[in-house]
Structure 1
Amino acid sequence: MGKLVYNSVVVDFDDRALVHLQIVIGSKLRRGESFFLSWHEPPTGGSGRASLWLHPSIPLHFKYVEGEAPSINRAWIDALTASANSGQGLVLSTEPRTQASRQHLRVG
């Protein structure tokens, strides 16, 4: 499990999800945009849903457990970007498993 550290908040995400979030969040923050990031808490975290208001002026840190970057699923990036640009903000969704989404890109 990787970690997203924002101000004093630490949130655990799977490394694969975290790298996809980093790409989308980085794109929004580079443009100076503030937005919500929301996700569903696992049962071990009490279930429910959580949100953070992300702002370009607040330091953000992505910490990965794995040494090698996972491949990038372009369809997932597109879905997350569409979510981030909506009124509800970036909501972490499950990774699409369509035939087209199996064409992964390598990063790092």
Structure 2
Amino acid sequence: MGQLFYDHIGPAVDIDDRTLAHLRVVITKKLRRQESFTLSWKNPDAHGRNTIWIHPAIPVKFDFDGPEPTDLNQEWIRRMADSAMTGGGIVLTGEHADSGVPAGS
């Protein structure tokens, strides 16, 4: 289980390494272009959800539990990148859009 640290706000967000690897690609590309967006996820206890505003001036850190990088699913990266350009921003979901399984489950 990896962790996303964002601007020293609260505790880190636990995200499985595979999802975090894909999210890192999208966030890095957006921030390199000086683009801001929202990132949302369901709380692991299934009560509520969180949204943060990702901005190039705010530090972000990705900590991976495993030592090896994962193979990347370009379609999943594309879906995340496309959603980052919408008003709803990136909403973490399962790798397969039709799976209905939230990321990190």
- Report if TM-score (shorter chain) is over 0.5: yes
- 1:69 maps to a residue whose letter is P
Aligned partner of 1:6 in structure 2 is 6
Give the superposition deviation at 1:88. Answer: 0.9
Aligned partner of 1:75 in structure 2 is 75
Which one of 37, 43, 55 corresponds to residue 41 of structure 1? 43
Give the superposition deviation at 1:5. Answer: 0.5
Q: Deviations over 1:11-60 (max 9, x none)?
A: 110000000100011111111011110011112xx532111111101111
Calculate the TM-score normalised by the size of structure 2: 0.85
User: How has the CA–CA distance of structure 1 residues 48 and 97 changed in structure 2, closer, same or farther, with 3 Å as cutoff?
Assistant: closer
CA RMSD of aligned residues (A): 1.5
User: How has the CA–CA distance of structure 1 residues 97 and 32 changed in structure 2, closer, same or farther, with 3 Å as cutoff?
Assistant: closer
Which one of 27, 31, 34 corresponds to residue 32 of structure 1? 34
Cα distance between partner residues in 1 of 2:79 and 2:41: 14
User: How has the CA–CA distance of structure 1 residues 68 and 42 changed in structure 2, closer, same or farther, with 3 Å as cutoff?
Assistant: same
Structure 1 or 2: more helix by fraction? 1
**1:72 partner SS:** coil
User: How has the CA–CA distance of structure 1 residues 97 and 38 changed in structure 2, closer, same or farther, with 3 Å as cutoff?
Assistant: closer
Aligned partner of 2:89 in structure 1 is 89
Structural mapping, 1:13-28, within 5 Å: 13-28=15-30
Cα distance between partner residues in 1 of 2:37 and 2:89: 6
**2:27 partner SS:** helix
- 1:36 maps to a residue whose letter is T
Aligned residues: 96
Give the superposition deviation at 1:91. Answer: 1.1
**2:65 partner SS:** coil
Can you give the 5+ residue segments of structure 2 that lack an aligned partner in the other structure?
A: 99-105
- 1:39 maps to a residue whose letter is W
